[in-house]
C-alpha cells in the first residue's frame, strides 16, 4: 500500500538526486557550539539524513546504520515496541542489507521534528516505511521512531522528493493529540505543536502510525497506516 499526498499546499524540492547526495555527503549541517539553533524547517537536511542512513546500511551494514543514526530514546517496532539501543546491541547483520529511499518528507514549522515516508526492498520482501526525525542540539537529524509498512509490491520512487512544511503564520493553540485506549498508544509532538504523531502496537502484534500536520486552521493527517501482525519489518 502506498501513501497519497493530499491536494493541499506543498513544496517540491527542485533538486536533482546528485545535489541531494552532495548534501548527504557533507552532512545535514549543525553547530559545534555557540548560539542556539534558529527554529526553522529544513526538509532538505532531513532528506540528506535519510539518504545518508540508507547509504550507510549498504556500506557498513543494516543494523550498524540504525545504531549510528538513532537518537538517544529511539524506538523500533519488530513488531512489538522496543528501545532501539537495546534491540540493536550486538545484533548480527543480515547477509544482504535492506535498500530504501525516501519519497516524501513533512516537517514541523520550527524544524524540531520531521517525518519521512519511502519504499524499501530486501531479497525476500518489500514495502514502505515511515521514520520520525528529531533535530539534535548541533543541528543534525537523528531518527526517533521507525516503522515498516506494507505495500502491494516495491514502491516506485518519484522523480522528485516531495516536501511539505506546516503552516507557520498561525500556530495551534494546543497539540490536539489523539489518545487511543485499544493499543499501546504513545503520542508526541514537535516543540511548536505543528507536527504530531502517534504509534501503537496491539497485543496481537499489529502496529499503527499516524502523523498529522498543522494547516493553519486544523490538523491534516498525512500518514495513517495499520500493519497486520504478520507483515514483514524492515
CATH of 11-166, one of 3.10.450.50, 3.90.1640.10, 3.40.190.10, 3.30.2020.10: 3.10.450.50
* pTM for the full predicted model: 0.82
Q: Beta strand 99-107 with 162-165: parallel, antiparallel or unpaired?
A: parallel
Mean pLDDT, residues 161-186: 83
- The whole-angstrom separation of Cα 216 and Cα 170 is 5
What's the gap between Cα 133 and its chain centre? 5
pLDDT of 197 over the 80 cut:
yes
107-149 pLDDT, tens per residue?
999 999 999 999 999 988 888 999 999 999 999 999 999 999 8
pLDDT at 180: 73
CA 94 vs CA 61, 76, 82, 175, 188: distances in Å = 8, 17, 19, 40, 32
Backbone φ, ψ for residue 26 (5° rounding):
-85, -5
Q: Answer positive or negative: Cα dihedral of 133, 134, 140, 143.
A: negative
32-60 pLDDT, tens per residue?
445 567 899 999 999 999 999 999 999 99
In the predicted model, what is the mean pLDDT of the chain?
A: 83
What's the gap between Cα 40 and its chain centre? 18
Q: Where are the domains of the chain?
A: 11-166
List Cβ neighbours of 84 (8 Å cut-off, separation of 6 or more). Answer: 66, 67, 70, 74, 75, 76, 146
Sheet-wide strand order for 99-107: 11-12, 162-165, 99-107, 113-121, 126-135, 141-149, 70-77, 81-83
Mean pLDDT, residues 15-35: 40
Amino acid at each position: 500500500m502506498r501513501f497519497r499526498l493530499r491536494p493541499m499546499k506543498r513544496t517540491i524540492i527542485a533538486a536533482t538526486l546528485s545535489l541531494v547526495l552532495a548534501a548527504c555527503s557533507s552532512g545535514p549541517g549543525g553547530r559545534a557550539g555557540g548560539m542556539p539553533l534558529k527554529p526553522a524547517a529544513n526538509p532538505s537536511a532531513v532528506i540528506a539524513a535519510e539518504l545518508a542512513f540508507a547509504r550507510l546500511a549498504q556500506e557498513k551494514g543494516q543494523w550498524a546504520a540504525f545504531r549510528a543514526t538513532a537518537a538517544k530514546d529511539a524506538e523500533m517496532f519488530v513488531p512489538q515496541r522496543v528501545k532501539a539501543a537495546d534491540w540493536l546491541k550486538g545484533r548480527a547483520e543480515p547477509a544482504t542489507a535492506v535498500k530504501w529511499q525516501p519519497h516524501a518528507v513533512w516537517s514541523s514549522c520550527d524544524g524540531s521534528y520531521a517525518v519521512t515516508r519511502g519504499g524499501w526492498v530486501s531479497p525476500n520482501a518489500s514495502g514502505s516505511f515511515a521514520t520520525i526525525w528529531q533535530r539534535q542540539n548541533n543541528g543534525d537529524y537523528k531518527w526517533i521512531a521507525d516503522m515498516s509498512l506494507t505495500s502491494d509490491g516495491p514502491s516506485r520512487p518519484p522523480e522528485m522528493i516531495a516536501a511539505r512544511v506546516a503552516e507557520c503564520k498561525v500556530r495551534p493553540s494546543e497539540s490536539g493529540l489523539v489518545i487511543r485506549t485499544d493499543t499501546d498508544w504513545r503520542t508526541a509532538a514537535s516543540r511548536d505543536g505543528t507536527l504530531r504523531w502517534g504509534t501503537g502496537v496491539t497485543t496481537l502484534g499489529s502496529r499503527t502510525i499516524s502523523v498529522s500536520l498543522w494547516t493553519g486552521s486544523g490538523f491534516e493527517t498525512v500518514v495513517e497506516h495499520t500493519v497486520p501482525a504478520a507483515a514483514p519489518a524492515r
